[in-house]
Amino acid sequence: MYAITGATGNTGSVIAAKLLARGEKVRVIGRDASRLEGFVHKGAEAFVADVTDAAALTKAFTGTKAVYAMIPPNIAAPDASGYQERVNDALATAITNAGVGHAVVLSSIGVDKPDKTGPVVALHNLEQRLNSVAGLNALYIRASYFMQNTLAQIAVIQNFGILGGPLRADLPLAMIAARDIGEWAAEELLRLSFSGKQARELLGHRDLDYREVASIIGKAIGKPNLTYSQFPPMLIKPALLQSGMSSSMADLILEMSEALNSGYMAPLEPRSAQNTTPTSFETFVAEEFVPRFARSR
């Protein structure tokens, strides 16, 4: 039995689907049984739990061969860091008390830094917490910038006719499709060949900056002259609040953006065949961005 947190999400859903397709037993974890039903029809066991509930997670992880652990985003949390640390407490407690042998853990580039990386500080702390769990074999997936982050641009395009955000227009970003993380994590869960505490960077298909992002999206949605503008934090924060983010989460996002812009937060490895994944940004745009953009009109 495998236990998958965030099973209805971008990465967890790919993992759960792949393990089920290989005939594995899977316990899918989420907050709402109805959203887990699709997996139940394919043979999964649904487990309704909040990731801040250590006792529930302990039950969910008990008797499993391996676990996929992640901190689900909660952009509306009034104390965003506090929420993330409550998840860390619950995950570490449950992994310890359930005696989990192997865990694949969603982490991020930038976790080599203990502070000033916004929401990534909590992933640094999660790795540190799990490093002290004796007997746990943990594989930390240090993923780069998700292509899914660009979906937030749909509202910007609708409102302003351009792309805009806090990142520098010419900042090369190693952009990864979340599905590639899921595919990679599923393979590792099936192989279970990792031991001790290991980290692997995944850097997506290639590096591209937001000028190129605008150009690729523009061509795909029939606006070939689409451009990107970097906006100052004082303009970005109200927009983030309006999108439903708490003030503390918006501050974390702006701190991370500054860390990326300055190069403080960056991959540690050069790009290689090992850390490059197959889905290109063009494919992501065609398959995920364009349909979402069309539905939003």
From residue 194 to residue 233, the character string flagging contacts with ligand NAP as x (rule: CB under 6 A) and all else as - is ----------------------------------------
Report, in angstroms and rounded to the nearest whole number, the Rg of the chain calculated over CA atoms: 19
Q: Which stretch binds ligand NAP (CB under 6 A): 72-80, 200-208, 213-221, 275-283?
A: 72-80
Residue choice 50, 112, 258, 282 for contact with ligand NAP (CB under 6 A): 50
CB 61 within 8 A of CB 67: yes
Residues in the chain: 297
Determine the size of the site formed for ligand NAP (CB under 6 A).
26
The answer for 189, left when phi > 0, alpha when psi is -120 to 50, beta otherwise, is alpha
The interface with ligand NAP within residues 13-32 (CB under 6 A) comprises: 30-32
The answer for 167, left when phi > 0, alpha when psi is -120 to 50, beta otherwise, is beta
Could you tell me how far CA 26 lies from the centroid of its own chain? 20
143: contact with ligand NAP by CB under 6 A:
yes
Residue choice 3, 11, 104, 130 for contact with ligand NAP (CB under 6 A): 11
35: contact with ligand NAP by CB under 6 A:
yes
At its nearest, how many Å lie between ligand NAP and the CB of residue 10? Answer: 3
Separation CA 40–CA 156 (nearest Å): 37
285: contact with ligand NAP by CB under 6 A:
no
With a CB cutoff of 8 Å and minimum separation 6, the contacts of 273 are none
Question: Up-side HSE of residue 8: CA atoms within 13 Å toward CB?
Answer: 16
256: contact with ligand NAP by CB under 6 A:
no
Which candidate, 10, 14, 8, 6, places its Cα nearest to that of 57? 6
Whose Cβ is closer to ligand NAP: residue 8's or residue 279's? 8
Whose Cβ is closer to ligand NAP: residue 74's or residue 283's? 74
72: contact with ligand NAP by CB under 6 A:
yes
Separation CA 52–CA 122 (nearest Å): 14
CB 52 within 8 A of CB 86: yes
73: contact with ligand NAP by CB under 6 A:
yes
Would you call 135 helix, strand, or coil by DSSP?
coil
From residue 82 to residue 121, the character string flagging contacts with ligand NAP as x (rule: CB under 6 A) and all else as - is ------------------------x-x-------------
Which candidate, 105, 96, 27, 95, places its Cα nearest to that of 69? 105
Separation CA 289–CA 282 (nearest Å): 10
59: contact with ligand NAP by CB under 6 A:
no
Residue choice 2, 3, 4, 8 for contact with ligand NAP (CB under 6 A): 8
At its nearest, how many Å lie between ligand NAP and the CB of residue 231? Answer: 19
Residue choice 3, 70, 90, 136 for contact with ligand NAP (CB under 6 A): 70
CB 47 within 8 A of CB 60: yes
Whose Cβ is closer to ligand NAP: residue 62's or residue 149's? 149
267: contact with ligand NAP by CB under 6 A:
no
CB 88 within 8 A of CB 80: no
Q: Which residues bind ligand NAP (CB under 6 A)?
A: 6, 8-12, 30-32, 35, 50-52, 70-74, 106, 108, 123, 143, 145-146, 149, 178
